[in-house]
Amino acid sequence: METKIYSLDDIDEAAAALKAGQLVAFPTETVYGLGADATNVEAVSHVYAAKGRPSDNPLIVTIADVATLTRFAQPLSDKVKTLIDTFWPGSLTIILPLKPNALSKTVTGGLDTAAFRMPANNATLKLIRTAGVPIVGPSANTSGKPSPTLAEHVYHDLKGKIAGILDDGPTDVGVESTIIDMSTEIPTILRPGAVTEDQLADVIGEVRGNKHKVGANETPKAPGMKYKHYAPTAQVTIVDDPTDFAAAVAWVSSHNSKAGLMATDSVLSQLTVPDSVEVFTLGPDVAAASHRLFAGLRHFDLETDVTAILTQGFSTDGLGAAYMNRLNKSAGDEHFTNDKSIDK
């Protein structure tokens, strides 16, 4: 199958492909998503196949107007209405209890809830309105790989497997939406993102954060949390204290590995980096770093021969929670500690 690149002038054509049951990747302010008509079971099953996604990992339903919600979800509580008024369109995915049989179990993984999101991207809102159907929207990467922040990343992972990609340039935020479960007694954050715990608590009161780690025998609340994520081929190690970078580079070299380094401009400017080390700047701050994290991981994999990627850690304040959540997953929780430098 030839995978087309749709420009913003081709939204009608992309919408027609969706309506006909084909897969079209779409831009959002967080990462690119892989779209299919959420009411077409066969189309949705092709999304799992194209991504290589485990079939028990449910999908987000991406919508362009709140009215669509009432078709699928139980009547909205006041808190849910407040979240919608405050954060939509935007980087908040809301888990809601469903009406019986409102969505196929191919979308929900058999749960009696579903995840809904209205992204802040005008091209995609227009795409959904033109297609006239809600679309499923997992990130448009091969399962396990970093989420795509450019149409080129989608093309790399999914070319030949999907009908097309609506290209709206680089995404703004760079990490996926915050997920809040509103089907539980106390609203619970299942995945941190650009909408922070404090922002949520400010408008709806008590919110349970995502501090709790899922044990091996527990069923995770967001099924996707149990899978390996965002992992480039090279091993990622987190450097929490920027003054450790020199020691971390020496540690990588002592293992005959080739190092790639991801850090902010100010950290890089204070570091003498050996010529053999590949460098990718994370920009000035944690917002820029979140925007560039997945692109950096892909850069090292595709354009360099590094075997170890040392990446700067941040505090988990604000957007730092989302950044560190994704970085910890891509690193398999591997952090540099100074005693590593005396490892053999």
Instruction: Pick between residue 182 and residue 262 the one whose CB is nearest to ligand TXA.
Output: 182
> Could you say which of Mg ion, ligand TXA, none residue 114 binds, taking C-beta under 5 to 8 angstroms by partner kind?
ligand TXA
Phi, psi of 219 (to 5 degrees): -85, 120
Q: Tell whether residue 326 is among the known ligand binding residues.
A: no
Angle at 249 between CA 247 and CA 254, to 5 degrees: 90
Give the pair of three-digit tokens for residue 270: 């204070």
111 touches which of ligand TXA, Mg ion, none (CB within 5 to 8 A by kind)?
Answer: ligand TXA
The entry of ligand TXA, Mg ion, none that residue 115 binds, CB within 5 to 8 Å by partner kind: ligand TXA
Question: Which position has the token pair 């078709």?
Answer: 71
Residue 164 touches which of Mg ion, ligand TXA, none (Cβ within 5-8 Å per kind) = none
Q: How far apart are CA 20 and CA 175, in angstroms?
A: 30
Which residue number, 161 or 340, has a Cβ lying nearer to ligand TXA? 161
Residue with Cβ nearer Mg ion (113 or 264):
113
Beta bridge partners of 92: 178
- Smallest gap from Cβ 242 to ligand TXA, in A, equals 28
Quick one: what does residue 57 bind among Mg ion, ligand TXA, none, with the CB cut-off 5 to 8 Å set by partner type?
ligand TXA
Q: Is it true that the peptide bond before 134 is cis, omega within 30 degrees of 0?
A: no
Check the annotation: does 254 bind a ligand: no
CA end-to-end span of the chain: 50
Q: Which residues in this chain contact ligand TXA in the complex, by CB under 6 A? A: 28, 30-31, 33, 57-60, 93, 95, 108, 111, 113-115, 117, 119, 137-139, 176-177, 179, 190, 221-225
Instruction: Indicate the residue among 94 and 308 with the shorter CB distance to ligand TXA.
Output: 94
230 is in an annotated binding site: yes
- 117 labelled ligand-binding: yes
- Which positions from 125 through 144 interact with Mg ion, judged by CB under 5 A? 139
Q: How far is the CB of 147 from Mg ion (least distance, A)?
A: 5
**Cβ proximity to ligand TXA, 14 vs 115, nearer residue:** 115
Nearer to Mg ion, 136 or 263 (CB): 136
Min dist CB 238 to ligand TXA, Å, is 21
Question: What does 123 interact with, of ligand TXA, Mg ion, none (CB < 5 to 8 A by kind)?
Answer: none
- Rounded to a whole number of angstroms, the minimum distance from the CB of residue 288 to ligand TXA is 18
- Which residue has the closest beta carbon to ligand TXA? 224
Q: Is 30 labelled as part of a ligand binding site?
A: yes
| 39 interface partner picked from ligand TXA, Mg ion, none, CB below 5 to 8 A per type | none
Could you count the other beta carbons within 10 Å of the beta carbon of residue 216?
5
276 is in an annotated binding site: no
Question: Within positions 137 to 176, which residues make up the interface with Mg ion, using CB under 5 A?
Answer: 139
62 labelled ligand-binding? no
CA of 60: how far to CAs of 36, 177, 272, 299, in Å? 11, 11, 44, 27
- Binding site per annotation, positions for L-threonine: 30, 117, 177
Q: Residues at the annotated binding site for ATP? A: 53, 57, 113, 139, 147, 191, 230
Residues that bind Mg ion (CB under 5 A): 139
